[in-house]
Amino acid sequence: MSQITSEIVKKLRDMTGAGMMDCKKALEETNGDMNAAIDQLRKKGAATAAKRADKEANQGVVESYIHAGGRIGTIVELNCETDFVAKTLGFKALAHDIAMQIAAMDPQYIHREQVTPETIAKELEIYATQAKNEGKPPQMAEKVAQGRLEKFYQESVLLEQSFIKDSGKTIKDIIQDEVARVGEKIEIRRFIRYHLGESTSA
């Protein structure tokens, strides 16, 4: 078993944002394997998030971010269960990162359940037609269309976008990491993005 020093524990904490004791335990359980410990902490985050899914999250912050010389601005409401967590630096940093993400990546939805059946049908039809025009047989065209729909979700759905500061994680991942750290339900309630001169009518 690799020797687990305080420096290694601190490094894992810096990489994941998890508590020192959680990091030490994860390293002990994975024989000092840093990558395995990171995976374990992220799984714990997902499990904690699932466990707290039915809790009320009525506290939180409204965070704003202005980007590109004042041409793009975002406002996001990030909720948690208690005012105590809402006031922590980690929670505020998470809200700020999500506001930056929205400014940079222009998501259209928070989660994929918000995408209407009509939009999904329209996108699938477009992707299937594209695939057929590329010479794909009908059955293959359907598979290609489903694959491109997944890419549509990854680009348009905030929770499924790659995090701009760490492409190896999604926005859902960084929220789950914070859930594991604070032990509370955290969710994005709503957001709005402004682009200078852009029409608000859809």
The stretch 19-39 carries a mean pLDDT of 84
What is the β-pairing status of strands 166-170 and 162-163? antiparallel
**83-97, 105-119, 134-148: which range is least confident on average?**
134-148
Predicted pLDDT of residue 48 = 61
Predicted pLDDT of residue 2 = 59
Predicted pLDDT of residue 202 = 37
Q: How confident is the model at residue 54 (pLDDT cuts 50, 70, 90)?
A: low
- Entry pTM: 0.71
- Report how far residue 1's alpha carbon sits from residue 29's, in angstroms, rounded to the nearest whole number: 10
- Report how far residue 174's alpha carbon sits from residue 89's, in angstroms, rounded to the nearest whole number: 15
Predicted pLDDT of residue 183 = 85
pLDDT at 137 over 60: yes
Predicted pLDDT of residue 104 = 95
**What are the CB-based long-range contacts (under 8 Å, 24+) for 16-23?**
16/41, 16/42, 16/177, 17/90, 17/177, 17/178, 17/181, 18/44, 18/45, 18/177, 18/180, 18/181, 19/181, 22/180
